[in-house]
Amino acid sequence: MSERTLCMIKPDGVERNLIGAVLARIESAGLKIVAIRKLHLTKTQAEGFYAVHRERPFFQSLVNYMSSGSIVAAVLQGDNAIARWRELMGATNPANAAEGTIRKDFALDVERNTVHGSDAVNTAAQEIPYFFNIMELQE
């Protein structure tokens, strides 16, 4: 079933000129880039995006990091896109990420782990409109 998911290339990825490398893996895997934008989140916007994690010990550091530099946000589409993008990304902590995944190859540590991906249909449905409006999501 065709799905859409939200992808972000985090500040460590943009900073190290990894936008092209990440997008190449997405396209090589057959996922379509429906919409894409580069932006710099404010602290408040980063807090809103990660609100589900607000009680976690890493929240404040994560928000500071995610607002520390530019990111790229993109909407990916394809059969089973949510799980397929998470598979390309690899585990949250690069120390646990499988060989050949983006986080294994590029992440610096558990926080600066280069990419984000929605984790379920309902989170994708919340995260996509955080960055893109209906007109931007037309194919």
Residues with Cβ within 8 Å of residue 138, at least 6 apart in sequence: none
Contact map string, positions 53 to 72, toward ligand UDP, x by CB under 6 A: x----x---x----------
Q: Where are the alpha helices (DSSP H) in the chain?
A: 11-15, 19-28, 43-49, 59-66, 81-89, 102-106, 121-131
For residue 119, state whether it binds ligand UDP (rule: CB under 6 A). Answer: yes
CB of 106 to ligand UDP, least distance (A): 13
On whether the CB atoms of residues 107 and 47 are closer than 8 A, the answer is no
Lookup: tokens for 110: 């558990």
Is 116 noted as a catalytic residue in this protein? yes
* Interface stretch with ligand UDP, choices 12-20, 23-31, 68-76, 113-121 (CB under 6 A): 113-121
CB of 86 to ligand UDP, least distance (A): 8
Nearer to Mg ion, 85 or 132 (CB): 85
Total residues at the site for ligand UDP (CB under 6 A)?
9
For residue 130, state whether it binds ligand UDP (rule: CB under 6 A). Answer: no
Q: How is the beta sheet containing 32-39 ordered, strand by strand?
A: 32-39, 71-79, 2-9, 115-117
CB of 110 to ligand UDP, least distance (A): 4
On whether the CB atoms of residues 3 and 79 are closer than 8 A, the answer is yes
On whether the CB atoms of residues 72 and 37 are closer than 8 A, the answer is yes
* Interface stretch with Mg ion, choices 22-30, 95-103, 112-120, 124-132 (CB under 5 A): 112-120
List contacts with ligand UDP (CB under 6 A).
Answer: 53, 58, 62, 92, 110-111, 113, 116, 119
